[in-house]
Amino acid sequence: MQVGTLPRYEVEAQNLSRASENRIHDDAVAKQFGFTGALVPGVEVYAYACHLPVEVWGREWLERGAIDCRFAKPVYDARPVHVTAEPEGGGLALGVASDGVFCAIAKARLANADAPSLEAYPAMPLPADREPADESSLAPGKMLGTVTRDMSEQDAQWYLDGVRERDPLYRNERLVHPGRILRLCNNALMDNVLLGPWIHVGSKVQHSSIARIGETLSVRARVAANYEKKGHRFVDLDTLVIANGARAVAHVLHTAIYRLRPPN
C-alpha cells in the first residue's frame, strides 16, 4: 500500500490489565488520580498505533522498523480508538485518538541500525524480594533482573484477540505482535521493584529482527535515568529484547512515571 493512500484504522480499546498489580488499571484507583476510569495500558495503545506501519511496510517493519511513541491522554476501556497516518519525511506521522481527543502521537519509519551487543546487557537474576521503587532501587546505571517469557501459541492468541488485531500476518506467519514485545518491557520494571499506581508514558523502539511464536524472549534492562517532572517521578529504562538468548529483537527506551504525584 502506498503511504499517500493510507486508510484510518479503528478498533475498540480493551483493558488487558484489570487484574494487574498496577492499580491504575482499576476504576476506583484511577478515579482517585483524576481519571474517568481505569486506563488502558500504554503498551496496548502502542499496539493499535503499530497497525498502520505494518499495513504499509509489512514484515519488513517488524524486522527493521523504528517508532517513537508518546502517550498524552488516557484511553479508556471499550471506547473507540482511531489511528491516522500522514506521510512525513519518508515515514509516517501517526495519531491515536479516542472520543475526539488525541491520546498518543508517534513517528514510524524503516531504519537500518546496528543492534547493541548482547554483552553490553548482561543477564542478571531477578530479586528474591523486590524493593520499593525509588531513587535507590532504580538508580541510573543499575542493571535490572532479566525477565523471560515463552511466546507460546496460547499467549499469542490471547494477545492478538486482546488488541483485536485484524492483520492476518501474525497468525499466518506465526509472528509475535510488537505490542506483546513492548509489554515485556513493562515486566522489566514490574518484576524488579514494588510499585504503586504507575503509568507508561512513551517508548522509542528500534526493531532488529522478527520475534516468532515458539521462541523465548528475554528483556535485559538498565536504568538510563531517574528524574522528577511536575511532581511525578520518572524512570527511563534502556532495554534490549532478545530471542532465545542469542538474537537481538528490539532496542527500546521505555519511559514510565513510576511514582505519581499525590492526588489533590
Q: Give the model's pLDDT for residue 59.
A: 96
Q: What is the CA radius of gyration of the chain?
A: 18
Name the β-bridge partners of 206: 66, 251
Percent of the chain scoring above 70 in pLDDT: 98
Task: Kindly report the CATH number that applies to the domain delimited by 3-259.
Answer: 3.10.129.10
**Within 131-201, where are the H helices?**
153-162, 169-173, 178-190
* Amino acid at the residue 92: L
Q: Give the model's pLDDT for residue 8.
A: 86
> Distance (Å, rounded) from C-alpha 174 to C-alpha 177?
9
Cell of 60: 519488513
Q: Give the model's pLDDT for residue 5.
A: 60
In this predicted structure, the answer to whether residue 1 has a pLDDT above a threshold of 90 is: no
| Region at 78 (left for phi over 0; alpha for psi -120 to 50; beta for the rest) | left
Q: Which of 117, 8, 111, 106 is nearest to 55 (CA)?
A: 8
Q: Which of 213, 223, 176, 152 is nearest to 59 (CA)?
A: 176
pLDDT, tens digit, for every residue of 5-18? Answer: 677 899 999 999 99
* Coil vs helix vs strand at 135: coil
Q: Which of 233, 162, 171, 241 is nearest to 205 (CA)?
A: 241
In this predicted structure, the answer to whether residue 2 has a pLDDT above a threshold of 90 is: no
In this predicted structure, the answer to whether residue 3 has a pLDDT above a threshold of 90 is: no
Q: How many CB atoms lie within 10 A of CB 262?
A: 8
In this predicted structure, the answer to whether residue 91 has a pLDDT above a threshold of 90 is: yes
* Amino acid at the residue 169: L
pLDDT, tens digit, for every residue of 118-165? Answer: 999 999 999 999 999 999 999 999 999 999 999 999 999 999 999 999
User: What is the pLDDT of the chain when averaged over all its residues?
Assistant: 96
Residue identified by cell 491504575 is: 24
* Domain ranges across the chain: 3-259
Q: Which of 155, 19, 45 is nearest to 101 (CA)?
A: 45
* Local confidence band at 116 (pLDDT 50, 70, 90 cut-offs): very high
Helices (H) and strands (E) in the chain, counts: 7, 12
> Distance (Å, rounded) from C-alpha 248 to C-alpha 176?
14
Q: Burial-class residue 225 by CB neighbours within 10 Å (0-12, 13-18, 19+).
A: middle
pLDDT, tens digit, for every residue of 164-197? Answer: 999 999 999 999 999 999 999 999 999 999 999 9
pLDDT, tens digit, for every residue of 236-261? Answer: 999 999 999 999 999 999 999 999 99
Q: Give the model's pLDDT for residue 112.
A: 87
In this predicted structure, the answer to whether residue 54 has a pLDDT above a threshold of 90 is: yes
